């Protein structure tokens, strides 16, 4: 299988503090891996560096054979179009319904035909089993519903990679399990997934290759 993500001796720094150093990681297309580690050990920082919102101080991150650190700002949208990011804070637009949130992403990434956009959104909502949330606004959604809405937004452009930052955080065990099952279904269609989590019971239930952030080091568990 093709290598989708290749991190070579990368060091990540925020405000002159080294967060993680000498990270080496290779991920193949179709893999599903976990990243664990205590609060503040750098999981989010690493995901954001792959996404291209936090610069790489030393070393390189190659995604889909492109060096992320060398992508020009005006071309960054092409990189991000290939990645679905599920943020801890969801980042749903509050003044738009779930449908409109998805529509916003599609329009921003070059989709123009109204009917095609509508069909695509409907198929995605159906796939995630959230047709009933179509016209709801974020403030009308529970935490778990916001979570699935943000998963549906992450997959709307059929990304090669999903970066899921603690997607089961604050969910009851049953909802957390169904969320992970949804991510597993997405993974089975060939999408690569990197998920940061604190949820050890889910890791035990659905074991996968796991990496750990600790003391600025990134290691295979």
Ligand X SMILES: Nc1ncnc2c1ncn2[C@@H]1O[C@H](COP(=O)(O)OP(=O)(O)OP(=O)(O)O)[C@@H](O)[C@H]1O
Total residues interacting with ligand X, rule: CB under 6 A:
12
Contact region with ligand X (CB under 6 A), list: 1-9, 35-43, 98-106, 176-184? 35-43
* Contact pick of 4, 7, 10, 41 for ligand X (by CB under 6 A): 41
If the CB atoms of residues 87 and 99 are measured against ligand X, the closer one turns out to be: 87
Q: 179 by DSSP, 3-state: which? A: helix
Pattern of binders to ligand X over 188-217, x per CB under 6 A? -------------------------x----
Residue 48 CB, nearest distance to ligand X (Å)?
8
Contact region with ligand X (CB under 6 A), list: 12-20, 69-77, 110-118, 136-144? 12-20
Contacts of 180 (CB under 8 A, 6+ apart): 167, 168, 202, 206
Query: Torsion angle of alpha carbons 30, 36, 40, 45, nearest 10°?
Result: -10
Residue 152 CB, nearest distance to ligand X (Å)?
22
Tell me if 14 contacts ligand X by CB under 6 A: yes
Residue 198 CB, nearest distance to ligand X (Å)?
6
* Contact pick of 5, 10, 42, 98 for ligand X (by CB under 6 A): 42
Tell me if 43 contacts ligand X by CB under 6 A: yes
Contact region with ligand X (CB under 6 A), list: 38-46, 139-147, 149-157, 202-210? 38-46
- In order, the DSSP letters of the chain are --EEEEEEEEEEEETTEEEEEEEEEEEETT-EEEEE-STTSSHHHHHHHHHTSS--SEEEEEETTEEGGG--GGGHHHHHHTEEEE-TT----TTS-HHHHHHHHHHHTT---HHHHHHHHHHHHHHTT-GGGTT--GGGS-HHHHHHHHHHHHHTT--SEEEEESTTTT--HHHHHHHHHHHHHHHHTT-EEEEE---HHHHHHS---EEEEETTEEEE-
Tell me if 40 contacts ligand X by CB under 6 A: yes
Contact region with ligand X (CB under 6 A), list: 2-10, 33-41, 139-147, 202-210? 33-41
Which residues sit at the interface with ligand X, rule CB under 6 A?
Answer: 14-15, 19, 37, 39-45, 213
């Amino acid at each position: 299988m093709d290598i989708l993500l290749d991190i070579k001796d990368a060091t990540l720094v925020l405000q002159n503090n080294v967060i993680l150093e000498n990270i080496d990681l290779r991920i193949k297309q179709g893999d599903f891996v976990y990243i664990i580690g205590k609060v503040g050990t750098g999981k989010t920082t690493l995901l954001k560096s792959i996404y291209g919102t936090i610069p790489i101080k030393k070393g390189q991150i190659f995604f889909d054979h492109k060096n992320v650190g060398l992508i020009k700002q005006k071309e960054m949208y092409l990189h991000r179009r290939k990645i679905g990011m599920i943020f801890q804070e969801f980042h749903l637009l509050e003044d738009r319904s779930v449908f409109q949130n998805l529509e916003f992403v599609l329009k921003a990434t070059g989709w123009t035909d109204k009917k095609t956009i509508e069909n695509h959104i409907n198929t995605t909502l159906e796939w995630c089993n959230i047709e009933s949330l179509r016209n709801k606004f974020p403030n009308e959604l529970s935490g778990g519903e916001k979570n699935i809405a943000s998963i549906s937004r992450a997959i709307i452009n059929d990304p090669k990679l999903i970066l899921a930052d603690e997607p089961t955080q604050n969910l009851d065990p049953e909802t957390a399990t169904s969320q992970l099952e949804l991510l597993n279904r997405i993974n089975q269609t060939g999408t690569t997934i990197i998920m940061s989590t604190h949820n050890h019971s889910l890791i035990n239930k659905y074991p996968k290759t796991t990496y750990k952030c600790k003391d600025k080091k990134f290691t295979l568990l």
